[in-house]
Structure 1
Amino acid sequence: MKPLRRVRAAEVAELTEALRVALAGGDAVWPVPTGTDGHAGPEPDASRPIPTTVPDDVAVVIETSGSTDAPKRVMLSAEALIASADATADRLDGPGRWVLALPGHYIAGVQVLVRSILGGGSPVLAGDGPFTAEGFAAASARLGADAPRYTSLVPVQLARIVDRAERDAFVAAALRGYDAVLVGGQALAPELAARADELGVRIIRTYGSSETAGGCVYDGRPLDGVGVRIVDGLVELSGPMLAEGYLGAPERTAATFSTDRRGTRWYRTGDLGDLASDGRLRISGRADDVIISGGVKVALGEVERAIQAVPGLAEAVVVAVDDAEWGRRPAVAVTGAAASATLAELAAVTDAAGLVPAARPVRLLRVEVLPQLASGKPDRRRVAQLLAESAQ
């Protein structure tokens, strides 16, 4: 066993140095939110014991956001983090300079730091306090032009930058200046992707999780060394970037990670998907997001994608609500600025997408700001709570 050191994510210089030590075999590091840096969420669950040691092969512990499940403490080795960073550099234009726009207590933020460390530099911060397109553009201007330029974003951040870039030439130039903009954490709405493309931005959709040391499938294609298979409709991943398991949760680890007869270790993602004829991975949603509505299975992810394709609804969130007749039905939350659609129009959208009648939304909630987790993902639990409260 070796020491596990908690470091506040907002102290980027301190966290970067702690990661540098951890990658070299020193004390493990657990990045935690601060509650004051604009990205921050709550401290790690105080009702659970806070460990001070981890197995010797662990370099980093990441507590997941708990967007669809209870938070997990994922243990990652230095080898897994380095394998992920190296595979990313191989898929892109080699090592480069990075703007850190994501919280350092989530895997995507940690990987920006790791890639910067391995590339021999330090990341440029996208401003202090809450994320803004202007702060991002100013940070981009400080990157320099002596190496490839990269950043990693979640869709809501990209949406804010694109909104501003369509009105501000400085922000547009900053976004176009990247050799690659990685976008992950959740599905990228087709409308938003098209708007970014019109601005001349090279977007790369990433798929992965803390358990895979970050994105390991880029634009549907696995990074070198990554295996993908579909078992009972669920996506499973293998490769050198897999986590060691969950800290203090051996049963959960055993239920999520398995080793086949050839000795290959697999991570069961919980995501529904399939492999297209060209080998690309397509994600259709979370297995735990499939509801039974009137005796019919409805994948909320498919409903959400259909609605997000409507201009102005790229940030729509779909969750399940209780229904006295059908059991459970889809419901939609949208921001006030883009909420001109009606339930009838949304029903027509799902019908046009070829979804079953049970997929038609039965409730529409307009809010000024959609609840988000510190990672930038929608807070679906809070959205569901707001929808339930609106029906009372």
Structure 2
Amino acid sequence: MALLRAVPPEGQSARDVLRALRRAIDGPGPAVLLGSTEPVDVPAGTAAVVTTSGSTGVPKSVVLSRNALLASAFATSARVGEGAWLLAVQPSYVAGLQVLVRSLMSGREPAVLEGRFTAQSFASAARLMASSVGGERVPTYTSLVPAQFIRLIEAADDAEVLWALRSFQAFLIGGQALPEPVRVRAAELGVHVVRTYGSTETSGGCVYDGVPLDGVRMRIERGEVQLTGPVLAEGYLGEPERTDAVFVRDAEGTRWYRTGDAGEITDGVLRVTGRIDNVIISGGVNVSLDRVERVVRALPGLVDAVVVGVADERWGQASVVVLPARADDRAADPGILDAVRSAVARELGAPARPTRILRVDDLPALPSGKPDRVALRRLAAEGADRGA
């Protein structure tokens, strides 16, 4: 097998990554190494290697070919349209990487929101993007994680932020489920949200609003969501056994990616119900923490809540609701725990009820913007030890 080198960009900025990516996709390379600093040998045809710990804390280096990245970018364009893109997430995260690929494909330089993400900095970046060709306004797009989008919706009383929200042709929101109250509020404001589903192993989101992009297929095998198509990664660098366990072939030789998510497909539309492994056994009953979190986040003031599992002397395992200090004032109501427990019991049964609420100054987050659930479980366990 022919090999080439993958090296980190000559700098840490988004522009550095963009230059390196342009050489990898349009030129002779080398491949771009993101999330690691030591050059490595990779299969010919590789455009990028994305190293991430993900939500489990276990590092993995995903090998993405030029063809897979471009297939994803072209399929996205076919679904949502072409235009200018704003990079507002880390370029080392696959959603950020794809913003750069789509920009290269369209021949337009991406706008870049650098520094701390705030509603005001986002609005300023949106203003600078406004442009037209032949008298027609160029459509604008961006990809955000839910935590970023929630901040924008919460700040929509600001006229400038509201203008920015409405100025985008579409917001691609992925990484985790978007709370239903936020989706409803966005629709009321006239903001177009596209909920994306995928991972680094699928070159980013490949199922939009439950419907796969062109060329992508999905199936449910033993309750697990599996995906196939030209967007699939080559596998994990230097880990053939892990690659073979996650990327499997069916009887016809088709290669499928095992997502590790539970879900169901109804009339061609996918609904993801949670991580297969994000389950606790409370009082002898299996409890999906993703489902508990969905119920909790639908309550007033708890849109930022994260639910994690901890050991429990009485139940074996139990769930804990973690809230950031910036949560809505309604989250400080002394009766909020009772409200949470009642809502969860109604939807999921008594064994799923959280035992307590833990308030933290800031929610630990991964570079992708997702909650760092490993760190949150540790905080929840430490809080239990202190009797918090």
- TM-score (norm. length: structure 1): 0.92
Contact 2:62 2:235 in 1 (8 A): yes
RMSD, aligned α-carbons:
1.4
What is residue 169 of structure 1 aligned with on the other side?
Answer: 159
- Once residues 352 and 40 of structure 2 are traced to their aligned partners in structure 1, the CA distance between those partners, rounded to angstroms, is 47
- Once residues 316 and 9 of structure 2 are traced to their aligned partners in structure 1, the CA distance between those partners, rounded to angstroms, is 45
Contact 2:344 2:352 in 1 (8 A): yes
Aligned ranges 1:262-281 → 2 under 5 Å: 262-276=252-266, 278-281=267-270
Contact 1:65 1:374 in 2 (8 A): no
- Once residues 260 and 217 of structure 1 are traced to their aligned partners in structure 2, the CA distance between those partners, rounded to angstroms, is 21
- Once residues 51 and 270 of structure 1 are traced to their aligned partners in structure 2, the CA distance between those partners, rounded to angstroms, is 30
What is residue 227 of structure 2 aligned with on the other side?
Answer: 237
- Once residues 92 and 9 of structure 1 are traced to their aligned partners in structure 2, the CA distance between those partners, rounded to angstroms, is 32
Contact 2:32 2:49 in 1 (8 A): yes
Secondary structure at the aligned position of 1:7 is classed as coil
Contact 2:33 2:39 in 1 (8 A): no
Matched, 1:363 2:365: no
Matched, 1:282 2:268: no
What is residue 330 of structure 1 aligned with on the other side?
Answer: 319
Aligned ranges 1:85-100 → 2 under 5 Å: 85-93=73-81, 95-100=82-87
What is residue 104 of structure 1 aligned with on the other side?
Answer: 91
CA-to-aligned-CA distance 1:71-118 (integer Å, 9 cap, x gap):
21100000000000000000012x210010000101000000000000
- Once residues 50 and 11 of structure 2 are traced to their aligned partners in structure 1, the CA distance between those partners, rounded to angstroms, is 11
Contact 2:7 2:39 in 1 (8 A): no
Matched, 1:79 2:67: yes
What is residue 346 of structure 1 aligned with on the other side?
Answer: 340
What is residue 15 of structure 2 aligned with on the other side?
Answer: 13
TM-fit CA distance, 1:214? 0.3
Q: 2:316 corresponds to which letter in structure 1? A: G
- Once residues 8 and 331 of structure 1 are traced to their aligned partners in structure 2, the CA distance between those partners, rounded to angstroms, is 43
In the TM superposition, structure 1's runs of 4+ consecutive aligned residues that sit over 4 Å from their partners are none
Please point out which of 110, 127, 149 is paired with 1:123.
110
What is residue 382 of structure 2 aligned with on the other side?
Answer: 389
- Once residues 269 and 69 of structure 1 are traced to their aligned partners in structure 2, the CA distance between those partners, rounded to angstroms, is 16
- TM-score (norm. length: structure 2): 0.93
CA-to-aligned-CA distance 1:277-307 (integer Å, 9 cap, x gap):
x221001110110111111111000000000
Matched, 1:182 2:182: no
Total equivalences in the alignment: 372
Q: 1:385 corresponds to which letter in structure 2? A: R
TM-fit CA distance, 1:144? 2.3
- Once residues 366 and 13 of structure 1 are traced to their aligned partners in structure 2, the CA distance between those partners, rounded to angstroms, is 37
What is residue 39 of structure 1 aligned with on the other side?
Answer: none
Task: Give structure 2 stretches of 5+ with no counterpart.
Answer: 133-137
CA-to-aligned-CA distance 1:339-391 (integer Å, 9 cap, x gap):
235322111111222x0211000121012321111111001111111111112
TM-fit CA distance, 1:170? 0.6
- Once residues 175 and 11 of structure 2 are traced to their aligned partners in structure 1, the CA distance between those partners, rounded to angstroms, is 18
Task: Give structure 1 stretches of 5+ with no counterpart.
Answer: 33-43
Please point out which of 122, 144, 158 is paired with 1:153.
144
- Once residues 294 and 8 of structure 1 are traced to their aligned partners in structure 2, the CA distance between those partners, rounded to angstroms, is 53
Contact 1:9 1:104 in 2 (8 A): no
TM-fit CA distance, 1:9? 7.2
Matched, 1:202 2:226: no
CA-to-aligned-CA distance 1:229-262 (integer Å, 9 cap, x gap):
0001000000000000001111110100012222
What is residue 37 of structure 1 aligned with on the other side?
Answer: none
Q: 1:345 corresponds to which letter in structure 2? A: A
- Once residues 382 and 281 of structure 2 are traced to their aligned partners in structure 1, the CA distance between those partners, rounded to angstroms, is 22
Matched, 1:31 2:34: yes
Contact 2:5 2:39 in 1 (8 A): no
- Once residues 156 and 200 of structure 2 are traced to their aligned partners in structure 1, the CA distance between those partners, rounded to angstroms, is 31
What is residue 38 of structure 1 aligned with on the other side?
Answer: none
Please point out which of 38, 60, 80 is paired with 2:48.
60
Matched, 1:375 2:368: yes
What is residue 134 of structure 1 aligned with on the other side?
Answer: 120
Q: Which moved further from structure 2: 200-209 or 335-344?
A: 335-344
- Once residues 234 and 266 of structure 1 are traced to their aligned partners in structure 2, the CA distance between those partners, rounded to angstroms, is 12
Q: Which moved further from structure 2: 244-253 or 15-24?
A: 15-24
Percent identity of the aligned residues? 50
CA-to-aligned-CA distance 1:11-55 (integer Å, 9 cap, x gap):
2222112111111352110123xxxxxxxxxxx4x9xxx452211
TM-fit CA distance, 1:57? 2.2
